[in-house]
Amino acid sequence: MTVTMTASGAQLLLLALCVCRGFGLQQSAPRVRLSFKELMDTKAARPFSFSFNTSDYRILLMDQDQGRLYLGSREYLVALDMHNVNKEPLIGECANFVRLIEPWNRTHLYTCGTGAYQPICTFINRGWRAEDYLFRLVPGYVDSGKGKCSYDPKQENIAVLIHGNLYAGVHIDFMSTDAALFRTMGGRAVIRTEQYDSRWLNEPVFVQIQQIPDSAERNDDKLYFFFREKTLDSSGGASPSVLARVGRVCLNDEGGQKSLVNRWTTFLKARLICSVIGEDGVETRFDELRDVFIQPTQDERNPMVYALFTTAGSVFKGSAVCVYSMADIRNVFNGPFAHKHGHNYQWTEYTGKIPYPRPGTCPGGTFTPGIRSSKNFSDEAINFIRAHPLMFHPVYPIHRRPLVVRTGVDYRFTALVVDQVDAVDGRYEVLFLGTDRGTVQKVIVLPKDPTSMEELTLEEVEVFRTRSPVKTMKISSKRQQLYVSSDAGLTQVSLHRCGVYGRACSDCCLARDPYCAWDGESCSAFTPSTKRRSRRQDVKHGDPLRQCRGFNAKVEKRLRETVQFGVEGSSTFLECQPRSPQATIKWLFQREGKRKVLNRVGGVLKTNHGILLKSLNQSDRGLYHCLATENNFKHTVARVALRILDRDIVLALTAQDEDEVPQTRQAGPYPQSSLVSTPFPPEIRLINQYCQSYWEQLSPKQQQQRKRTSRRHTESQDQGLG
């Protein structure tokens, strides 16, 4: 068979290889893969879906205090028990596609839906406690959803309620041509981004929004939002068509007095860079921002920003996760502004005079204590920010490289959440990455040496009964649960399934899952409160030799030796499947007490499931050891004793006599009584043993199907042996 590859295909393959290897991040195959059925067999997942017709399930709010998960879908709003999503779900009918659920106070939620291209909002009474099982719309109250929820359900929107004010990134017209960042409600004037000004927003797709304080001064509090938008550059070529952005506004912005009336006067944006440099020096950028997860730290002003990107093209599939620090983001916003200048009208650094107060500074804040309102900003400052909302420098990720990269695969990441896990040897950040093929990957990234990182994909599980892209995800560290939604439904998944890694201490240690540890008897969930003596865990190094002393020898002793038969001149397959795809396999051959690496002249075909020995002869009989090596730890996976049957005797025993007289005997496998009582030569006893074990493995149904064929074969055997 001839394999051909086009020039473009070769270039994409080379690009994928360069991206994988270029910056020292080693990708790994998932240690464990579970189908949906296998996941359900672990009893660590619960699927939820309506029995009636609906779609577009989205997790819109997770209330840890009440233990409620609020789910929006087409025509319905659902409150689920976070401990068990199938326990008495509370269901309410709502306006078309539900897109927003925000807590208003202790007893009420504010929710909005697309309303068949007429977005509307209302309040929901949920009661004081989850035990009240109260979930109903407030009768008689309906509010306009304009500026709060998109008209078109295909348009993404973001929203957050802060001190009674709703901040939302939405499209506010039927044709989805006017996108804006809005502030509504709360008794304050409605304020938005400049309308139809592509320098501010150019066909944006909003991804995430969150308040992050900048200092101890409350007047400095800002709202950060993440989105992607079309580029203004029309030069084509190497310029990307879509750019990832981070933007911000001050919460106390009231708009301008004469110019930018009811418009943000503190709106700024900057580009987010997530890229890798290949061995050839070419930079590959991931520009399609898909999801953002903001991981809190002990300092509320400096959370970690995890951003999920994909490549913009449809041919080359690639995904990456980059991590940004708020210090780097603030430095860019405090840096130079971008300015289009020159005969080519290119973006350059603005070197002119910067007005006071500096554009983007909050009124009444640390640097502007004498300015109490944005309406007091100078005309010069207002006009400058209208024309220069973009920062010149982009924001680069920590270490200027992605944390996770996927290239050369047939899927893309679609959603991201992160958990911080305390293990024996430190705290680790575990990433859960949803894909467009309906799976979730659990990944950790560890430093391997000063210049490279080691990415470990601990597992990949199918979370839906029917394949559907992951749409939204929420994580509860408190309950150790992950909640994943798609168009078809929602699944609640435990953060760990330690038992699937194996029954040996070495399997548990090599998995390097910070959620799991060896407790002396099994691989089980790790808790920091467990006594140190009874837990064996090594996430950083994954060294079973150090952690599992005394347990490894027991496993070797318990390993059962299997007997397998082969016929001279034919082929036989010796099966060996290590638990981990990261393990390398080596076969050893033992005969007359001597064990050496298998180096067979007759030919060996190695596969992922074992080896095929071709053209067997008597010198092949002996004991075969399948030795797996992972992370410098060697252990025996399988022992197979191969016995070779003489070809002439087998042919003689299986030959059919055309003149034989049919005898009326019971068809089926060899009768055990006759086999035991008849004095057979050694080769024939081996054949009988082989056939007996073969028949015992067949199910009754298979035996019934084989009766007709077996009867003649058995009778000829009896005649020949008699």
Tokens of 390: 């973009």
pLDDT at 140: 86
Q: Is the dihedral of CA 187, 188, 189, 193 positive or negative?
A: negative
How does 166-178 read in b/e, with b if 16+ C-beta sit within 10 Å? Answer: bbbbbbbeeeeee
Q: What HEC string does 505-556 produce?
A: HHHHHHHCCCCEEECCCCEEECCCCCCHHHCECCCCCCCHHHHCCCHHHHHH
- pLDDT of 600: 80
Q: Mean pLDDT for each 10-residue chunk of the chain (722 residues)?
A: 35 41 60 95 91 85 94 91 92 86 94 92 89 86 92 93 96 90 93 95 96 93 97 64 96 95 97 88 89 96 97 80 97 95 80 93 92 94 95 96 92 96 91 97 88 89 95 96 94 96 90 92 83 75 84 74 90 89 90 86 83 90 92 88 87 64 45 41 56 59 50 41 36
Q: What pLDDT sits at residue 657?
A: 53
Quote the pLDDT of residue 578: 86
Taking the model in full, what pTM does it have?
0.84
Residue 497, φ and ψ in degrees, nearest 5: -140, 70
What whole-number distance in Å separates Cα of residue 71 and Cα of residue 73?
Answer: 7
Task: Name the strand (E) or helix (H) holding 644.
Answer: strand 633-645
- For position 302, what pLDDT does the model report? 96
Residues 6+ positions from 213 with CB-CB distance below 8 Å: 220, 221, 222, 300, 301
3-state secondary structure (DSSP) of residue 166:
strand
Domains of the chain listed by start with CATH number: 498-553 (3.30.1680.10), 560-645 (2.60.40.10), 648-721 (no CATH)
Name 641's Cβ contacts closer than 8 Å, sequence gap at least 6: 561, 562, 563, 564, 622, 623, 624
pLDDT value of position 289: 97
